[in-house]
Amino acid sequence: MRTELTELSEINVLPASTADHGRLSAQRAAIDAAPHVRSLCDAISVPVMILNTNREIVLANAACLDLIGCPDMTGAAGRAPGAVLDCRHAMRSEGGCGTTEACRRCGASVAIEMAAGGDPASLECVVVRDGQPVPLQLEATAAPLEVDGERYIVLSLVDRRSEQRQRTLERLFFHDVLNTAGSIASVTELLPDADAAESAELVRMLAIQSRRLVEEIRSQRDLAAAEAGSLEVELQPISIVRLVADVVDGYRHHPVAWERELTVLPGPAVRAAADPVLLGRALGNLIKNGLEAAAAGEVVTVTHRLVDDAIELSVHNPGEIPAEVAAAMFQRPVSTKGDGRGLGTYSVRLLVEEYLGGKVSLTTDATAGTTVTIHLGSPLDAHRLE
């Protein structure tokens, strides 16, 4: 029953619903009186709501009430799905859920419209919510239901965030590990025919690639633990100058740095209370993203500074990120580089904001380029380190 949203891009925007409280009360009574409908809905562990043809909620099961933060039906009855889910588009449109241009591309809205016409549908739906950094990634399944000669729509919402992130993690991990392992294999094949000088250089390259392979495996392990909420953090005083230098040195010979310049601007000698592994991983992801986004011959610049007695680490590249990509950059894996990419900035937000107590921000435009910044707390001291 899975339907592709791309096949339905010409669907019309739905008309605004008009509340009829008397009719809604009668519909709620009819659903309550229908044999087994309420008990079946409550027995289902995923959020389920029954809508009338005006897209108003007539019944919501316990899982749905928990998802939308309502203790009972009082806060849900008569409202549209987008309204109770705090969808940004539904909240900013006079007509509400189903009536905006964005609703043409909303899987839940399209599935509801199809079910209202008698056709079951299952589509993916991303609900961007005001004030919430992470959107809901749902699979919306809608099917028609008839009670006492009147048509309703049964809408179930399955949270796919964990599943989708896990698939992305696995794709990215195997992509990067296979690339590094392939480089090791290629260098190894050259060793038997190399002279002494060539052998020394090939051994050096093998050491770099082997360390990178180990680091990629560790990175995957830490990110998986962060996703599961089990990542252990070891805060200790660290020199920001030294951490920046070490991370940048690790990327100077990385394949993404070929034909690009990676430079570090001088900054204050300060220390921060942070986990050096996690902060180094976050900064490294930003550097890698910056190098991937830069064109051949362009410069990626790493800086750190004190602003309002707080430490900022920034990575700049000359390119501009499209507005629609920038808006979701830290909310979920998203990229201009193709499917399975874009985990870098998502993991930076996860590590910095959830485990290091900092913040991440982004600025981008055609003139100034793109700068991603990690904001940490106040330094332990602002004096020069030995």
Q: Name the burial class of residue 274, with classes exposed (0-12), middle (13-18) and buried (19+) by CB atoms within 10 angstroms of its CB.
A: buried
266 phi, psi to nearest 5 deg: -65, 145
* Shared-domain flag, residues 181 and 114: no
The segments of the chain whose pLDDT lies below 70 read 1-20, 91-95, 130-134, 161-166, 168-169, 172, 175, 227, 324, 327-344, 380-386
Distance between CA atoms of 352 and 231, rounded to whole angstroms?
12
Burial class for 157, CB neighbours closer than 10 Å (0-12, 13-18, 19+): buried
Place of tokens 């241009």: 101
Domain CATH code at residue 63 = 3.30.450.20
CB-CB neighbours of 191 under 10 Å: 12
Q: Which two tokens stand for residue 58?
A: 């007539």
Residues 104 and 198 placed together within one structural domain of the fold:
no
Q: Do 129 and 13 share a structural domain?
A: yes
Verify that 14 and 154 share a domain, yes or no: yes
Spell out the residues 6+ positions from residue 26 whose beta carbon is closer than 8 angstroms to its own.
none
CATH number at residue 296: 3.30.565.10
Q: How many other C-beta atoms lie within 10 A of the C-beta of residue 144?
A: 16
Are 254 and 214 members of one domain?
no
In this structure, what token pair is assigned to residue 316?
């700049």
Tokens standing for residue 67: 């998802």
Last residue of a domain, one of 212, 231, 250: 231
- Give the range of the structural domain holding residue 194, as residue numbers without chain letter: 161-231
**Amino acid at residue number 147:** V
Q: Are residues 80 and 200 in the same domain?
A: no
Full 3-state SS string of the chain: CECCHHHHCCCCCCCCCCCCHHHHHHHHHHHHHCCCHHHHHHHCCCCEEEECCCCCEEEECHHHHHHHCCCCHHHCCCCCHHHHCCEHHHHCCCCCCCCCHHHHHCHHHHHHHHHHCCCCEEEEEEECECCCCCCEEEEEEEEEEEECCEEEEEEEEEECHHHHHHHHHHHHHHHHHHHHHHHHHHHHHHHHHCCHHHHHHHHHHHHHHHHHHHHHHHHHHHHHHHHHCCCCCCCEEEEHHHHHHHHHHHHHCCHHHCCCEEEECCCCCCEEEECHHHHHHHHHHHHHHHHHHCCCCCEEEEEEEEECCEEEEEEEECCCCCHHHHHCCCCCCCCCCCCCCCHHHHHHHHHHHHHCCCEEEEEEECCCEEEEEEECCCCCECCCCC
What pLDDT is attached to residue 329?
A: 67
Last residue within a domain, chosen from 129, 159, 189 = 159
Q: Are residues 203 and 249 in the same domain?
A: no
153 and 173 inside one domain: no
Domain tally for the chain?
Answer: 3
Q: Which residues, 6 or more positions from 63, have their beta carbon under 8 angstroms from its beta carbon?
A: 44, 45, 46, 47, 48
Residue 166 sits in the same domain as residue 147: no
254 shares its domain with 330: yes
CA-closest candidate to residue 142, choices 29, 75, 55, 33: 55
Phi, psi of 371 (to 5 degrees): -130, 125
> Is 270 in the same domain as 355?
yes
What pLDDT is stored for residue 6 in this prediction?
A: 42
User: In the prediction, which pLDDT does 133 show?
Assistant: 59
Same domain, 126 and 222: no
CATH (domain of 205) = 1.10.287
What pLDDT was estimated at residue 283? 93
Chosen domain end from 159, 174, 209: 159
- CA distances (Å), origin 145, targets 80, 151, 153, 273: 17, 6, 6, 58
